[in-house]
Amino acid sequence: MQEIIELHHDKKVDAPSGTALATARLMIEAHGKPFAYPKTEKETLKGTRGGHKDGLAIHSVRLPGLVASQEVIFGALGQTLSIRHDTISGNVLCQA
């Protein structure tokens, strides 16, 4: 299983980010087919599991104090692999 979590400052106007969508597209292309995504039996708060793109869940967070981060988490029985990129300087922000 795999999921993408992207975090940006509260002034970001789109969700998910173009980077998260591009990451999902490239992952799907490399995989050669949609990913299998397990259905959640009971979602007690609608939308909690994020948006979905060909079996990938994408979660967007918008908060003051953040610049930009993206994490891709892969999970298999007994193990996970996380790949994360963080932007730590507000100087790279550009107007949308």
Exactly one of 8, 39, 52, 59 is catalytic; name it: 8
Among this protein's residues, is 52 annotated catalytic?
Answer: no
Tokens 């969700």 found at: 15
Buried b (16+ CB within 10 A) or exposed e, 73-88: eeeeeeeeeeeeeebe
Dihedral over Cα of 38, 1, 87, 14: its sign? negative
Exactly one of 9, 12, 33, 46 is catalytic; name it: 12
CA distances from 49 to 15, 26, 52, 65, 90 (A): 14, 21, 9, 24, 29
Among this protein's residues, is 59 annotated catalytic?
Answer: no
The residues annotated with a catalytic role in the active site are: 8, 12
